[in-house]
Amino acid sequence: MELKSIQPVKALTDFVESFWMIRNDSAENKDIILLPDGRFDIIFSAAANEPFHATLRGLDTHPHQGVIPGRVTMFAVSFKLLAIEYLLDNKVAAVLNEGERLPAGFWNIVPPDLEDFERFCEKISATMLDRIKPGIDNRKKELFDLIYASNGTLTVQELSDQVAWSSRQINRYFNAQFGISLKAYCNIFRFKASLQQIKEGRLFPELNFADQTHFIKEIKRFSGVVPKELAKNQNGRFILLSDAL
């Protein structure tokens, strides 16, 4: 199975986390466990047994079983939160822990575009650059930047104070747009940030967890297993621990 990722051009870094691809040339399905990662995705998929299609995947709040079909190619864009309003103009609250099919021909991506990953990234980047809306709310951009820079370790009150936006208003915005509270999102993002240290065998809290017990509890809540088992990544089933993603 081939995995690859590419970083966006500078003009898209406020909206796009990365582009990624998975290609399973084997006839056999690959069982995986999807982990919460604080991002949402548009995935274009071409498989032997189903028609070409695009799917919008909302935020995940818990682990769940998934399958990468045999003979499949998937090219995708992983988005940051600011993209919801200023690039897609969609709310993803309705697709929390779920996905929904997008209309045929979405963003003019067609099956031949899944033959060359670099060209796909160039084509869809050009489309997105043309779609960015003006007049971005600086409070939202600053809020998201703080969450990412702190790896989700700042409290809701600290974030609220730094962007001069009340915690009540922020939570109302998060629940309406993304389907979860600000604190819940920060916990997910902190979990994602912990994955690299766990992958490297550092099985102790480094990101403002209260103690070792709290760290283990949070890792198990979002992955279904304790840090030691997550680090083993038996059979490569935790796809988010791969180098490419």
The answer to whether 55 and 43 have CB atoms below 8 angstroms apart is yes
**Which CATH number applies to 138-241?**
1.10.10.60
What tokens does 140 get?
Answer: 């939202």
| Interval 187-217: pLDDT, tens | 999 999 999 899 888 998 889 898 999 999 9
pLDDT digits (tens, 9 = 90+) for 124-133: 999 999 999 9
* Each residue's pLDDT tens digit, 146-188: 999 999 999 999 999 999 999 999 999 999 999 999 999 999 9
Please, what is the angle between helix 138-149 and helix 156-163, to 10°? Answer: 140
What residue ranges do the domains of the chain occupy?
2-131, 138-241
> Is the per-residue pLDDT at 238 higher than 70?
yes
How far apart are alpha carbons 218 and 237 in whole angstroms?
19
Percent of the chain with pLDDT over 90: 87
User: Which residues are CB-contacts of 239 (< 8 A; sequence separation ≥ 6)?
Assistant: 22, 32, 33, 34, 35, 66, 68, 245
Please determine, for residue 137, whether its predicted confidence score (pLDDT) is greater than 80.
yes
* pLDDT of res. 244: 45
Percentage above 70 pLDDT, the chain: 99
What is the reported pLDDT for 198? 93
Confidence of residue 30 (pLDDT cuts 50, 70, 90): very high
Q: Would you list the DSSP string of 45-88?
A: EEETTEEEEEEEE---SS-EEEEE-TTEEEEEEEE-TTHIIIII
Using CA atoms, how far residue 63 sits from 69, 104, 168, 206, 221, in Å, is 19, 29, 28, 22, 8
Q: According to the model, what pLDDT value does residue 106 have?
A: 96
Q: Using CA atoms, how far apart are residues 221 and 188, in angstroms rounded to an integer?
A: 10
Under CATH, which number does the domain 2-131 receive?
2.60.120
